[in-house]
Structure 1
Amino acid sequence: MGETVLVTGGTGYVAGWCVAELLKRGYTVRATVRSAAKGEHVRAAVSSEVDPEDRLRFAIADLTSDNGWADAMKGVGHVLHVASPMGMDGADTQSLVVPARDGTLRVLRAATEAGVKRVVMTSAANTASPSSYRDESVSDETVWTDVNDPTLQPYRRSKTAAEKAAWDFMAGYDGPMTLATVLPGAVFGPVLGTGTMGSVRIIGRLLKGMPGTPRIGFEIVDVRDLADAHIRAMTAPEAAGQRFLATGEFMWMLDMARALRDGLGADGAKAPTRNLPDIAVRGMSLFDRTLKEIMPALGRRAVHTTAKAERVLGWKSRPAAEVVVDCGRSLLSHNLV
């Protein structure tokens, strides 16, 4: 039986695939959930990909409370800290930043007290981006978003604040545990079940049909490749103390819709075939808070380099069109469209 790895936020989309991939590689996994019932949902979802046997266990813990974290860390060698509040449906800054930042510090404190070797934290590529969306230069891991920029949307601010808090904690920590952070782009790919789906809801909306797409694009990373990046960052000695961008190819939403139509045939026939005029999207954003938050990215091509992850970890994401089609096919197979 392999080493025990703790995965936080076990019900999440990315965390579920991290659990599955760890099990495939022979690890024993303990995942944090908010209730025992949620643990059984995770087990069922992961079982669609790999037989957990007796190597998947659960601990009750929440980012907003100290309760449960000491027990969750007992006997753990490594931690994948994936849990974070999602920035969907117009969530406000306070409801995202506080649990993301304070929850990260709870995890790190508990990990140091338990003698964990390394924590790998899921951050986001938009924490390594110029604060101004007008700057389209290629960004690497040396770039930091300005967390004090008043124009930042809540989710971007929460991810930046949490990662900064983690590195500040490590700067004041004098012990053997190390930290690495993984900074993904837009995460798509197959789903394990009908639970938390995160960003894949965008693919569902395209498949259901829209009058057109806003000129919004994403650097697309497959969720399976992202899980692989976490495990590589967990095991590579040279990953200690490092940030790693884990983005992929850039695609406009219209190109994503085209990939769904081409790759899924009749099942993708409702995907839109045109862009909405920018002026129409701006007008709709006056009444739709979710649209308002993405307005700074309208027409902008974000560019990050994954050269460091490729060089240090030997990591690479699969082609974006393949990721989008796999995601759409999976949503259809789970009757989620």
Structure 2
Amino acid sequence: MDKSVITVTGGTGYIASWIVSDLLQEGHKVRITVRNKSDFLKYQHLLDLEGKTEGELSVFEADLLSPGSFDAAVKGADYVMHTASPFFLDDGGDPQKNLVDPAVKGTKNVLEAVNRSASVKRVVLTSSIAAIYGDSREMNDRGLASLDETIWNESSSLKRNAYSYSKTEAEKAAWEMVKKQAEWDLVTIHPGFVLGPSQTKRIDSTSIGTLLRILRGEIKSGAPDLRFIFSDVRDISRGHISAAFTESANGRYIIANESGNLLSIGKVIEAAHMGAYKVPKNLVPKWLVWLIAPTIGFTRQFAKDNIGYPLAADNRRSIQDLKLVYTPLKSTILDHVEQLKSDGLI
């Protein structure tokens, strides 16, 4: 693989840290963007890693909502991996401001920098499986055996699954922008529910927080039958890199594998660590989840449309085109538990 200059936006994030780590180990010149360059503790782990690899790391300050702020980081780059986007389900009462604007305007801001760079050959955008479906019942309603990359989320809105709406609108904006020029192309990556060991001790990721809740016994009385399609963070990193350097790669790629629920996670942990953690041992009936939904952070509509419905993803494109070999879910969970344990977080 030729050594390249690669810009990774939001470079200190859960997924981005793995991408940066893998790129540095391959010897590339990696540029990351951060909101506050003086807060070096957030990227110290990457500086430490740089010294152990043949790669080079540069740090740039940029803000998703500040026009032109990505220009310096993007100018002269061969590839851009745009991972920076808010990921939290609590919209703070203003989904437009807290979710949609950073996702959509931020994506446009980065791609406008790409347009001005004259050097970028390909952009790899971190989208989400949330841009493919909004509610779990949709697969059942459409009579589908699995979700694939041809499907778009058409049900989410500012008032309904705002996070999913933000990811959908950001990806749509990217595809519209790529049509208007011929200098660079676009590949989008669609993770599911991300788990796997983190490069840092940060726990502000929604998925990491969920695993911690399970390990700390916060849902020991039972878990709702809310299904997920899981992704290993290391597989996602490999998917981004392969999408950049595989010339024939094109379009959208689901990077996710096995399906399950929070009880599935609990069973894996219990089998490996008998009695060490108060993991859920049973499912809470759907009628009860619906009844208490407002007290546990759900709406009753969300409970109705998402509890108890099967989910599955067709990841054949990623296997065929990107040559991905997926990490078993059991390994993903246990490796993540070990990382949290060794970092003193559980």
Contact 1:49–1:192, Cα closer than 8 Å, also in 2: no
Q: From 219, 230, 234, give the equivalent of 1:220.
A: 230
Deviations 1:4-47 (A, max 9, x none): 21111112100111111111111111110011233442232574
Superposed displacement of residue 299, structure 1: 0.9
Q: Is the 8 A contact 1:120 1:181 kept in 2?
A: yes
Give the letter aligned to residue 72 of structure 2.
D
Deviations 1:113-157 (A, max 9, x none): 112111100001121226672433122111111166576301100
Q: Does 1:310 align with 2:312?
A: no
Q: In 2, Cα distance between the equivalents of 1:85 and 1:110?
A: 20
Say which of 95, 115, 118 aligns to 1:93.
95
User: CA 1:77 to 1:36, structure 2 compared with 1: closer, same or farther past 3 Å?
Assistant: same
The alpha carbon displacement at 1:87 in A equals 2.3
Alignment of structure 1 residues 55-204 onto 2, 5 Å: 55-91=56-92, 92-94=94-96, 95-115=98-118, 116-129=120-133, 133-136=137-140, 137=144, 138-146=146-154, 152-171=160-179, 173-195=180-202, 196-204=204-212
- CA contact 1:13–1:198 (8 Å) conserved in 2: no
Contact kept, 8 Å, 1:11 with 1:38, in 2: the verdict is no
Moved more, 73-82 or 221-230: 73-82
Cα RMSD for the two superposed structures: 2.3
Tell me how far 1:69 sits from its aligned partner.
Answer: 1.1
SS state of the match for residue 283, structure 2? Answer: coil
Equivalent residue letter for 2:240: H
- How far 1:102 moved relative to its partner? 0.8
Distance 1:46 1:301, change over 3 A: farther
CA distance in 2, matches of 1:183, 1:143: 12
CA shift in 2, pair 1:287/1:305, >3 Å = same
Match of residue 294, structure 2, among 286, 289, 294: 286
- The amino acid of 2:226's aligned partner reads I
CA contact (8 A) 1:147 1:161 kept: no
Q: CA deviation at 1:288?
A: 3.5
Number of residue equivalences: 334
Question: Which residue of the partner structure matches residue 233 of structure 1?
Answer: 243
C-alpha contact (below 8 Å) 2:214/2:278 kept by paired residues: yes
- Structure 1 alignment gaps of length 5 or more: none
Give deviations 1:251-285, integer Å, cap 9, x for gaps: 22111101011123454x31121112222222332
Q: Secondary structure at the match of 1:120?
A: strand
Q: CA deviation at 1:111?
A: 0.9
Structure 2 Cα separation of the partners of residues 334 and 78 of structure 1: 33
Counterpart position of 2:23:
22
| TM-score, normalised by the number of residues in structure 1 | 0.92
Whether the 8 Å CA contact 1:185–1:219 is kept in 2: the answer is: yes
Return the match for 2:307 from 298, 302, 309: 298
**1:239-262 per-position Cα deviation (integer Å, ceiling 9, x unaligned):** 14x111111100221111010111
- 1:194, 1:336 within 8 Å by CA — same for their partners in 2? yes
5+ long unaligned stretches in structure 2: none
**Is the 1:215–1:299 Cα contact (8 Å) retained in structure 2?**
yes
CA contact (8 A) 1:139 1:305 kept: yes
Q: Is the 8 A contact 1:131 1:152 kept in 2?
A: no
Aligned-partner residue type, residue 37 of structure 2 = A
Residue 73 of structure 1 deviates from its aligned partner by: 1.0
* Structure 1 CA distance for aligned equivalents of residues 345 and 300 of structure 2: 26
Residue-by-residue CA offset, 1:141-186 (whole Å, 9 max, x unaligned): 1111116657630110000000011001112x22221110001111
Inter-partner Cα distance in structure 1 for 2:127 and 2:282 = 33
> Identity of counterpart residues, as a percentage?
31
Take 1:275 and 1:132, find their aligned partners in 2: how far apart are those partners?
A: 17
Q: Partner of 2:329 in structure 1?
A: 320
> Hey, which bits of structure 1, 4+ residues long, moved more than 6 A?
none
Listed as ranges, the matches of 1:43-58 within 5 Å are: 43-44=44-45, 47=48, 51=52, 55-58=56-59
